Amino acid sequence: MKAFRILARLKTLRGTPFDIFAHTPERKMERRLIAECETTVQGLLANLDRDNHPIACEIAALPEAIRGFGPVKERNLEKAKARECNLFEAYRRSAPKVTAAE
């Protein structure tokens, strides 16, 4: 239990050059997912309207489902990405159609 107390105190080092876990594959994936999420939300906001709002909210909430550590997080990520594909398909179908006259 002593080791966990030490690790808990080192939590303040996250995101600093002294973060000893910063270069693990899981942390790299987490940073990549944050960037992807920000890009996704910006894209959703650019095309948001009354018709696609519910689907946009579901897409924006997907990162909340990516929980756990190691293999558990990987499984949740796979499920979230599969759901994201389905939701984006529905989002594209609900997007307003631009005509040549506009």
Query: What's the pLDDT tens digit per position in 24-75?
Result: 999 999 999 999 999 999 999 998 999 999 999 999 999 999 999 999 999 9
Q: Is residue 8 part of a domain?
A: no
Q: Is residue 61 part of a domain?
A: yes
Q: Is residue 16 part of a domain?
A: no
Q: Is residue 71 part of a domain?
A: yes
Total tally of structural domains belonging to the chain: 1
Q: Is residue 102 part of a domain?
A: no
Domain span at residue 59 reads: 25-94
Q: Is residue 88 part of a domain?
A: yes
Q: Is residue 80 part of a domain?
A: yes
Q: How many CB atoms lie within 10 A of CB 29?
A: 14
Non-local CB neighbours of 27 within 8 Å, separated by 6+ positions: 21
Q: Is residue 52 part of a domain?
A: yes
Under 8 Å between Cβ of 94 and 55: yes
Query: What's the pLDDT tens digit per position in 62-73?
Result: 999 999 999 999
